[in-house]
Structure 1
């Protein structure tokens, strides 16, 4: 803990010196413009007009270059952008490199990520705003670091050998530090996939993994649409297989509690390789394996669409029970993939729930797009099953009902029901 405090104090002093230098030169608060090229050992980047409200309908790009042989490290000191569970409206993207680099993360709302580290001496920030809600923007500090100095606060990088190991900072000597973000980009040959296993796992426990957590994504960037799973707690997730030849593993710790951390291993496998896993019963979030396509017969979708039973009769037979607002509903063949902003959770099961600021959301696959029929912007009660990826699935046999305030009392009673 003493080391963490010392590191944070050192960062605060660095920011103070930077701000003092700028103020001494200009005799007034620094003025931040839309984008630019920044070079050197360190510097400050702020959104256009910070700390005033950033303008609407803008796209600003900042390109950072630190000296050759070093890596760029970025820390957000302040973040206040329009909040959305998927960061679709106003957001900041951070990339390793200047052109076609790996995306290290997309951020919105007010939750500040830990330190972000490029794989080389270049990094890019891009801020996009739409026509509506705005905030005060962001203030960040970048600095140069030697690659071998990354052990205490910095971690991650590109992994392209046939097998390897990745760990949280300080493993196994002491707890991982607070306020870090690690992103490992694993790249296999094009005809292979990637298997990931965790040998030891201990990350701050929370029912929704809102604080410290590990997220795994198919592909080369951090993208919620390609998220395989989100994990925390003290039980190792089940082995994970990628869909293609690239995978991103992101670890994030906030500025409060820490834990032992983890050690994980990866190896490349032929594309035809398959694996069967059983989720550990005590894992906080669902252990997931390679996504398995849901196969439902045409006969299922030809059933007459008629809701059966009541809230009470369906509660115990369902894996999950939530109320939420449908914020997107995208047809995929004969099914619909819906993103639901959660109002309340009455039965979680292994449902994967994502957190952005104070907003929680989840993915639900409606097996037959006309049964039950849901509309974007409306509130519903969803009861159904959960697939191996932690995604909710709803078929004609499950229970979906338009949510009204009069339902709250009955749902509150069911929440405490033993099944």
Structure 2
């Protein structure tokens, strides 16, 4: 199914879930029970319970940040299952998002960043604590999220859930649905593998097929030595159709993390691991105790991941910043600008709100991105099939079976656009009648309700 179809299905399912939630709340009130009242953050100490965005099922507030700290009884781990997810959709979850951490601090391992309307898979911590951070900007809001948390025994069957704690000396890890089905969208799985002291962990991939992307931004599997902190122990991130080479940890603890985004899925992977004595010579398995960049060829563009080479002179490293992905360097930490285009070194963020951008832009339209072609100095040429125009200005529109326009984005990394998706697009027009998208131009994934909002903005004075 294509991405717009997936989003439509997700929206329909969300409306169904919201209706079911309201029906259950009504029945609860009739039975002298009350539905939960969700606050902005708090400490949740219980065997189990619900956590949700403030005032759900009403729309969450703009410009807010809420933090929930979940604690279940000692000796258990936290399992979090999402019932409803409706946050502003963005391919990199830059505007409204929910972060999950493996503990009560944002210095702990990030289990995922989520937005849009697809529900993430079950999350499992490696201790009895878990933290959620929800952030919203001043733009579009949704109904938020509702999730159920519970304490489970850490020795539960690893195959029952997506991820978990593993203490066996050898075993297998697979993506959800393997081998009969493709892995689902919006999934985050974390396996914490711990073997006896004095041993290290060797991982080999038998099958491997994830959505390909140059920077592994969408679907990927990542490895962490020890897995105690968010960034400091990242040792590799992989995607595409070429299996990584065998890997060996530098200690007896290895965190393996699989993440899929909200759209395209694939077959997934099958990996086996085994504990081997520390110091065992494994020529075919590079050690994961030093950071470096290795490029792995895929059918799509090359996939860049982080590992550490042998030899006296390490190659030039290419550290990529991927907002919203586990283990990504924080903005300003190791960013490598695109030569000749200093704009691409800036953090990717919209410069204004939907209203201020509407007034400041020469064109405002909704349309489907049908082609993305690299241009000079890090720019990209964009072809768009129009859904509707709200302001055209001097924009040149090609008439035919479908109305189309050509645009140029100054930096190929910002704004983030994906072929096949529907967007709200605002920007200027150059002397050739092409639309121009500046770094920070207002773009957003298009939803049907946006049409009324844009029509309303067109009637208001700027």
CA positional deviation for 1:293:
7.2
Task: Give yes or no for contact 2:102–2:131 (8 Å, CA) kept in 1.
Answer: no
**Do residues 168 (structure 1) and 175 (structure 2) align?**
yes
Distance of aligned partners of 1:94 and 1:33 in 2 relative to their CA distance in 1, 3 Å threshold: same
Task: Give yes or no for contact 1:215–1:230 (8 Å, CA) kept in 2.
Answer: yes
CA positional deviation for 1:199:
0.6
SS in 2 for 1:269: strand
Provide the rounded CA distance (Å) in 2 between the counterparts of 1:11 and 1:380: 36
Unaligned runs of 5+ in 1: 298-318, 321-336, 342-353, 367-371, 382-407, 414-419
CA positional deviation for 1:204:
2.3
Task: Give yes or no for contact 2:45–2:72 (8 Å, CA) kept in 1.
Answer: yes
Task: Give yes or no for contact 2:121–2:162 (8 Å, CA) kept in 1.
Answer: no
Distance of aligned partners of 1:409 and 1:94 in 2 relative to their CA distance in 1, 3 Å threshold: closer
Provide the rounded CA distance (Å) in 2 between the counterparts of 1:160 and 1:17: 40
1:166-315 matches, cutoff 5 A? 166-221=173-228, 223-273=230-280, 274-276=282-284, 281-282=297-298, 286=303, 291-292=308-309, 295=312
Query: Taking structure 1 as the reference length, what is the TM-score of the superposition?
Result: 0.55
Per-residue CA deviation, residues 71-127 of structure 1 (Å, 9 max, x unaligned), is 633326134599999x9x997553567799984614277697722332689552242
The Cα RMSD (Å) is 5.7
CA positional deviation for 1:228:
2.0
SS in 1 for 2:168: coil
Distance of aligned partners of 1:216 and 1:111 in 2 relative to their CA distance in 1, 3 Å threshold: farther
Per-residue CA deviation, residues 231-259 of structure 1 (Å, 9 max, x unaligned), is 22222111122233322111122343322
Task: Give yes or no for contact 2:210–2:266 (8 Å, CA) kept in 1.
Answer: yes
Unaligned runs of 5+ in 2: 287-294, 346-374, 381-462
SS in 2 for 1:356: coil
SS in 1 for 2:21: helix
Provide the rounded CA distance (Å) in 2 between the counterparts of 1:379 and 1:16: 45
**Do residues 356 (structure 1) and 324 (structure 2) align?**
yes
Task: Please point out which of 29, 51, 65 is paired with 2:59.
Answer: 51
Task: Please point out which of 18, 21, 25 is paired with 1:18.
Answer: 21
Distance of aligned partners of 1:195 and 1:287 in 2 relative to their CA distance in 1, 3 Å threshold: farther
Task: Give yes or no for contact 2:158–2:166 (8 Å, CA) kept in 1.
Answer: no
Query: Taking structure 2 as the reference length, what is the TM-score of the superposition?
Result: 0.51
Q: How many residues end up aligned between the 2 structures?
A: 323
Match of 1:105 in 2: 111
SS in 2 for 1:238: coil
1:24-103 matches, cutoff 5 A? 25=29, 30-37=37-44, 39=46, 43-47=50-54, 51-53=59-61, 60-63=67-70, 65=72, 72-75=79-82, 77-79=85-87, 93-95=99-101, 103=109
Provide the rounded CA distance (Å) in 2 between the counterparts of 1:127 and 1:241: 33
SS in 2 for 1:196: strand
Per-residue CA deviation, residues 354-404 of structure 1 (Å, 9 max, x unaligned), is 4538xx9899999xxxxx999xxx6689xxxxxxxxxxxxxxxxxxxxxxx
CA positional deviation for 1:35:
0.9
CA positional deviation for 1:225:
3.9
